[in-house]
Every structure is written in C-alpha cells, then in structure tokens.
Structure 1
C-alpha cells in the first residue's frame, strides 16, 4: 500500500490535523499553512497528515523566528527554496530507484515489481545512508557558497549582484530527435547530456546553475574561463557520435543570484545567442570578447534581431591556433 510506504519513509503514523499541529507548535493555522505551501504541499483538508517530525520542524522554525535573527518572510523564502530543491531531488531519487526495481522479462518488456514491498525495502535500507550523504553534500556546497560570498564582501562588492559570464549549452534539433525516441531512450539521452556537461563545467572551474532537459545553464567568474568551458562542452558532446550536436552561447554582465538561480540580461542573451549559432560552435557577445586574451580570435557575424535585445552583432570565437594550424 502507498500509505505503508509513506509511513516507512516518514518513520511514523500521521497523528495531527492542520489545526492540531498548529496548536501544538504554538503557531496560527495561517502560519503553518503558509509554511506547508512554501514547502510545496497542498492543504491537508482536515485529515490527519502530520507526524511528530513535522511538529519538531515547526517548533524549530518558531524558535528561529523568536530569536529575531531572521524574520518570518525570510523563513518562508528559505522554506520555498528548500521545498523546490527537495521535490526535484526526491523525484530524481525515486526515478533512479524505479529503474533498479524494474526487472526485464524474457520478452524484453519491463516487469513491474510491487513498490509496497521492494520500494519499502529500498527506502529502509537506503534512507539513513542517503540522509547522511544529503547533509554532507549540503554542508560542502554551503561552505563553497559562503566562501564565494565572503570573497565578494571583502572586495566591497554586492554579494547578490555580480558581474559574471553566463553560458547556455543547447542540444541541436532536440525536439525532432526526441520525437523519434521512446521514453527510455529520451531519458537516457537527457541524463547523459546533463551529467557529462555538468562534469565538464565543474572540472573547468565553472558552476552549473540548472538543467532544462536539452540545455544546461552555467556561470564562470571570467569570460576566458567560460569560453574554455564552452569549447570543452563542444568537444565532449559534439565530439561524440552517439549524442546530438551542441551549440553554446556566452554573455557577460551583471547578474543577480536568487534561490540558487541567476537572473539578468546576460542569462537571456546567452540563451538567445544559441539560436544563431551553428552546430558545435561557440557564439559570444562583445562584453565577453572584451575579456578574452590573445589565445582567442573573434569574428563578427551579420547583425541579428534578438528578441528583447533588438539588433545585435554576435561574434564567433575560436582558439587562435585553430586558424594558424
């Protein structure tokens, strides 16, 4: 039963309604509902949906707000970021486990196993392990993010607003290709593209921001670093005959960091530039070109109208040795 699996994961039987858990936590119903929605869940409509761990979480939130260190609105924003991230992570985890639980029959067709038994066994075995790894990974990323913020603050720069080069790597003709693949083939293609791009970006000193199925958004501290990463992505993805070709757009300028994402004109421009790039090519704007050393050579393309930016003159970029042999 689905309820049995949920109880096994949560570690307890739901015993509180929304009104009951709000009263037990010392919060109003509206406060608890706001937090629950921010976490990404609908109202429980009066049913017993909450376990002691939910009460502990609410009491922790109440204590934090009570210290005056952060206000309720900030707590809601952090909760929304946490809920969004954990929802995606949970879906990813379940889909991965589902592949493990799906056995292939003699006819090659998938044979579904009962989640109520096998799913519970995996949850009970892997839950504590994954929970420890989750906290470990969060601490490592928190330390890295805090270090970046500290460096910006030391330079008297805005911690949330910074000048960066944004890269947008996009698979060529993905829609047409995906129409010819079955569900498993499409999932494998997307996972291969995303994982290999993220590896290349991370190894090159950049930071992956998000994946969009057929595209990966990343940032780098300098135009030169971003350009090196872009060429590495082209070599990794475009150089593999089993994968579609790729194109990369780069834009440089001020971006704002919010909830793990980045916003600003360079983000939109990088995306728009991929639309005018040829397959397995890197296209940049003039701000990015201005930050490149003589290791690179740029060439102006014909002016194009890019939605939201008007008439723009993109530039192609190559390593200088590409011309000189």
Structure 2
C-alpha cells in the first residue's frame, strides 16, 4: 500500500486536525465523507492527507465554499473514486491472472500493485483529463439552462433492465456473471454516448440514462436492444422511457420520470420499448407509431396507460 500512497502513514486524525486548523470532529467528518471508517486514533494519515485537507480548508476560509459544501464535494469525490478504484483493481487482477497463466518466458508475473505502480502518473494524467472534459460538458449543460432551471430540467429518462437477472446470477458462475455485467454496462455506455446521452448510474442488471431529446432517447433504447437483446450470447432486455422535469443533484436525477421509466420496464415485453404519455406526445407522428396499452396499476402512480412505440 505504501507503494501506491507514496508516503509513510505517520499522523493520527488529531494530528491532521491540528496541522490544518480543523476541529477533530471536522477532520473525521471529511474522512467519513471520503468513504473511510474512523481510524480510532491510529496513525494512518500521510503528508498527502494533510495537504488535501489543507486545500479544502483554504477554500472554506476564502469564502469560496462553506464547510457543509466542502463535505458534499468530498463525498461526491470519494464515491466516484471508490468505484473507479474497485473497477481498476478488478480489471488489473484479471490481467495479472492472465499474465500468470502464460507459458514461462523467463519473467516473473507482476502483481496488481506492481501494475498499478507502473501505470502511475500516466493514469493520473488521464484521470484528470477525463475529469476536465466531463466538467466542461457539465458546465455547458448548466449554463444552457435558464437561471430558474439550474436544478430542475426537462429530460427523457431511460431505464434498461436485464430480463431474469436473478435467475441468471443463481445459475452462472461468479466469473461468468461478472463478465456479463461488465459487457452489459460497457455496451450500454457506448450506445448512450453515441446518442448524445449520459449514463447516470449502473446497478449491475440495469442502467439509468438520460437524453435531452426524446427521439435521441428512443434511439438510445433501440441501440441497447440491438447490442444486447439481439445478441444471442446476451440476455434479453426491457426498456422504459419517460419524459418530464427532473431534479439534478450530486450527479443523480430524481423525480417522477425516473420512477416511471423504472416501473415501465415491468410492463415491457422482452427486447421492446415502452414509453409514457409525455414521451409519446413529443415523438413526431410522421416517424413513430404509438399505441396505448390497457391501463394497469403502476406502483406509486395508480392506473397508467403505457404506450408501445416503434419507428416507421
């Protein structure tokens, strides 16, 4: 771990608090926001930890952030980096196993830690580059909105769900189910990006995405069916689309359209798209055929008439 941290742990939480001018409770709050348990007085912190906290403290003291907002930003960063780290290590473990399984060529197989160390600054530079690109895109989206709509905007929300995932996960090996989830997520991500959408979150057997335009949302859903449901090696999928005002918060979206899109997947047939009335009203009739289905109870919405859709 020292090879990755590039420093020797030498400070307790109390030491970091004293060096940065925070109270001990504030230092612990930031540490928890990053996603780590409290160290119970152990010396687990490094100079880098103190420097990172000092950066946040400087932003608070300058008035740029208040402490609560600093904690919120820290929590967002911690959750994102935790998932990235798990993803990266999982991928590299597979690579190490692959290297170890090769015929002996006179070299010792490298460990995951060695691979991470070799990636080093190059991967860090790539990570910062990707963050800046996504930051620029996020700023562009926000500045395009009216001031009153910075946290509330109209979007088409899509939910893609693997059919029978529980039964699949009970039947397949752990390695096979992991490969299936990774392939499902990567293919969905490619389709969403190509249709000018954004993946909001992946939940293993499902993906939540958004598009600014309902036609793009339909194209995204159709593209996911093409690369997942119509591939004989992959399971079937169901797609639900709903359009309306959503709240943008902490990289997530909230609101009735999100819940409706998820509920509609239970209505959809395998490898088909079901939409709500609001989305149907926005799709050009010269391009799409829509057909109301019989009303049925939808949890949280009462009786709803789902709409089947297809392109001419």
Partner of 1:194: 185
Which residue of 1 is the match for residue 111 of structure 2? Answer: 118
C-alpha displacement at 1:27, in angstroms?
1.0
Q: Is 1:240 aligned to residue 235 of structure 2?
A: no
In the other structure, the counterpart of 1:277 is 268
- Report what 1:87 is aligned to: 82
3-state SS of 1:302 partner: coil
In structure 1, C-alpha distance between the alignment counterparts of 2:116 and 2:276, rounded to whole Å? 48
Residue in structure 1 matching 2:140, options 125, 130, 147: 147
Q: Distance in 2 between matches of 1:158 and 1:99?
A: 45
Kindly report structure 1 stretches of 4+ aligned residues shifted beyond 3 Å.
103-106
Match of 1:45 in 2: 40
Q: Does 1:256 align with 2:247?
A: yes
1:290 corresponding residue in structure 2: 281
Q: Structure 2 CA distance, aligned partners of 1:79 and 1:105?
A: 38
Change (3 A) 1:105 1:41: closer
What is the DSSP-based 3-state SS (H/G/I as helix, E as strand, rest coil) of the residue aligned with 1:270? helix
Residues 228 and 7 of structure 1: CA distance in aligned 2, closer, same or farther (over 3 Å): same
1:160-216 Cα shifts (integer Å, max 9, x gaps): 110111000111111112211101110111111110011011101111111111111
Note closer, same or farther for the CA distance 1:121–1:105 as it changes in structure 2 (3 Å cut): closer
- 2:5 corresponding residue in structure 1: 10
Is the CA contact (8 Å cut-off) linking 2:89 and 2:112 kept in structure 1? no
- For the residue of structure 2 that corresponds to 1:244, the secondary structure is coil
Structure 2: distance between partners of 1:97 and 1:37: 27
Unmatched 5+ residue regions in structure 1? 1-5, 107-112, 321-325
Residue of 158, 163, 170 corresponding to 1:172 = 163
Task: Quote how far apart the aligned CAs of 1:103 are.
Answer: 4.2
Q: Post-superposition shift, 1:104?
A: 8.1
Residue 12 of structure 1: how far off its partner (Å): 0.7
- Quote how far apart the aligned CAs of 1:122 are: 1.2
1:69-106 per-position Cα deviation (integer Å, ceiling 9, x unaligned): 11111111100111011111111111011101114888
In the TM superposition, what is the alpha-carbon distance from 1:120 to its structure 2 partner?
Answer: 2.8
Aligned length, in residue pairs = 305
Q: Equivalents in 2 of 1:119, 1:158: separation in Å?
A: 46
Equivalent residue in structure 2 for 1:137, among 130, 143, 164 = 130
User: For the residues of structure 1 that align with 2:42 and 2:219, how far apart are their CA atoms?
Assistant: 55
1:20 Cα deviation (Å)? 0.9
Q: Which segments of 5 or more consecutive residues in structure 2 lack a partner in the other structure?
A: 102-107
Using structure 2 for the length normalisation, give the TM-score. Answer: 0.95
Question: 1:149: Cα distance to partner?
Answer: 0.5
